[in-house]
Structures are given as C-alpha cells and as structure tokens.
Amino acid sequence: MIQIKLDEYEIYTSGCTALMRITESMRQNINWGHGYFGNFNDKVAKSLSGTLAELAVAKCLKVHFNHHVNNFKGADLYFRNQRVQVRCQVPKNENFLIIRQDSSANEIYILVIDRCPIFEVIGYINSSDALGKPEYLTNFGYENRPKVYSVPITDLISIESLIND
C-alpha cells in the first residue's frame, strides 16, 4: 500500500472535475447506471471521491491525469500503455474492489481507500483474473442491482509490484 497526500489545489481541481462530470451527465440526460438511485449530493460525494482517487493513482504511478469528462467506459488512466480503472471506497470494516460484469478483459483495476487528503493506493488485479470467477460474484443483497465481481483486498496484488514490474 502506498499513501498519497493531495494538496488543497489538487482537491479543488478534482472538485471542479467531479462537478463537471455530474452536470455533464445531467445536461446529456444520462442517468447513473447499475440501479443506482442516489440523490444529487450523494452523486457529488461519490464523484469527488472517485476523481480524487484517480488523481492519487496518477501521482502514485507518475502518469498524467487530464481531469477527463464524458469518458464513460474509457480508461481512467494509462500506465505503460495499459488501461487502468480506479475504484475508490471510504474506509469500511471490509473494503473490496468492484469490477462490473460488462467490464473489459485485460485492464488493470486499482483499489484506493479515501481518507482525504490521504489516499491509500491498496493494490490491483487484472480484470481477466476476476471476470467469470463465481466466487467473486455478488449483488451485496441488493436485488434491484446487478451482480458485480467483488475482489477482497487479500486477493489483490500490491501496488508496489505493479510499479516495480
């Protein structure tokens, strides 16, 4: 695990990006998918946390973060010409990395824990190593939401090994 501290300017610019992502979805009449029904404030919080995590991973991997908007299924980042998807959660009793069933194979998925301004870049997995594995498939008891692959932290590869590979 690597801890990345974001400064006030990085938090501010990520906030602008997060709000732009939400208002662009509103402008284009695009609903959040996968059965998510959070209100505007919930979406702001989740979008901000995700954007901050993307920036933290970019700093960790020493790659460019362009504060993209309207990217949808595109990569969050690129590392050594490989597509990277960043997944962020606030600290819980049990954190895990989520990969949706319609995700692409052979992408790097990285889990980040949001303790703003500190972000813990926990580890990663190649999506091909999780997709199709029934032991990871769950809907967390939400019958109105599609199942996802939930990869426990113990099954992730250390982020240091990705950087040093």
Residue 37 or residue 139, greater confidence: 139
119: β partners: 4, 114
- The two tokens of residue 22 are 């939400």
**58 with 64: CB under 8 angstroms?**
yes
84: β partners: 77, 108
Q: What is the pTM of this model?
A: 0.93
pLDDT tier for residue 161 given thresholds of 50, 70 and 90:
very high
CA distance 138 to 150: 7
CA distance 26 to 43: 11
- The two tokens of residue 119 are 């972000």
